[in-house]
Amino acid sequence: MHIPEKLDKKANEIRQDIIKMLVDAGSGHSSGPLGMADVFTALYFSVLKKRPKSPWWEGRDRVILSNGHICPVWYVALAHAGYFPKSELSTLRELNSRLQGHPHYRSLPGVENAAGPLGQGISMAAGIAYAGLMERKKYNVYCLMGDGELNEGQCWEAFMFAGKYRLHNLTVIVDRNNIQIDGNTEDVMPLEPLRERFESFGFHVIEIDGHNIPHIVDACNMAKAIVEKPTVLLAHTIPGKGVDFMEYNYEWHGKPPNTKEAKKALQDLRTLGGRVNVGDCD
């Protein structure tokens, strides 16, 4: 089996675990985590410098999740990469669980930031990247963001900062799925022409298919070679990817499937090449 096939299979497994977590919790966000499974798979199984058994190793790349509500995909990717046991995934959103509904700083190995209020992650990431350059560190910083949160003015202040200081160790990955909690982004607050906006703030822009893992990996590697400015990857994704009744439907932004819906979702994912016992949701 070729590596890309292995990574596609891993992304499918991650999506299945997301569904199981959400139905167990009875709350949470569905479409964003499913849509970003390929990006997180590319990061944690190909791109990042990391040591899961020594998660705070100084030389590690930093991952900052700005749109914290999609944290189920982060948790699953971390567990599959060996940061903590997969068995803990079933505790999502429980009292005293390390897997809260929004990430909490260092509550889990590999969780680099707290997130909740949208728009703040990019400021954290820019600060970490700036500190890295000042201290001549070799790590890279990856900030994952939703397109809807680009409505927040704080984002653009941070983008100005990143452009001014030429933070070439910063790669921003925008989940360009065109939805947010109350509708389509271009209806709520138009973002286009998004590429030109980022370029005007001093970013190198790469547009990618957010479900093509080799392309995601190539784009991240290309970003490392850009030494004069920060890079943004506009990852065009399908919200709810892999689950027929969730895809493109903004109503699944902020709700979990019930037991019946979860069975159907897992069946959909099984047809994409994964393996699952649909009785898991009984």
**pLDDT tens readout for residues 42-80:** 999 999 999 999 999 999 999 999 999 999 999 999 999
Per-residue confidence (pLDDT) for residue 276, from 0 to 100: 41
User: How far apart, in whole angstroms, are the C-alpha atoms of residue 101 and residue 250?
Assistant: 19
Per-residue confidence (pLDDT) for residue 273, from 0 to 100: 63
- How confident is the model over 2-9, as a mean pLDDT? 80
Average pLDDT, the chain: 93
User: How far apart, in whole angstroms, are the C-alpha atoms of residue 62 and residue 43?
Assistant: 11
Nearest partner of 76 among 48, 43, 49, judged by Cα: 43
pLDDT tens digits for range 78-136? 999 999 999 999 999 999 999 999 999 999 999 999 998 898 999 999 999 999 999 99
Whole-model pTM: value is: 0.94
Reported as a pLDDT band with limits 50, 70 and 90, residue 1 is very low
Per-residue confidence (pLDDT) for residue 116, from 0 to 100: 85
CATH number of the domain where residue 227 is located? 3.40.50.970
Beta bridge partners of 62: 141
Beta bridge partners of 145: 174
Residue type, 183: G
Q: Is the pLDDT of residue 274 over 70?
A: no
The DSSP secondary-structure symbol of 253 reads S
Per-residue confidence (pLDDT) for residue 2, from 0 to 100: 54
How many domains does the chain fold into?
1
**Structural domain harbouring 189:** 3-281
Rg (CA), the chain: 18
Which tokens sit at 154?
A: 């704080």
More confident residue, 176 or 181: 176
Per-residue confidence (pLDDT) for residue 275, from 0 to 100: 44
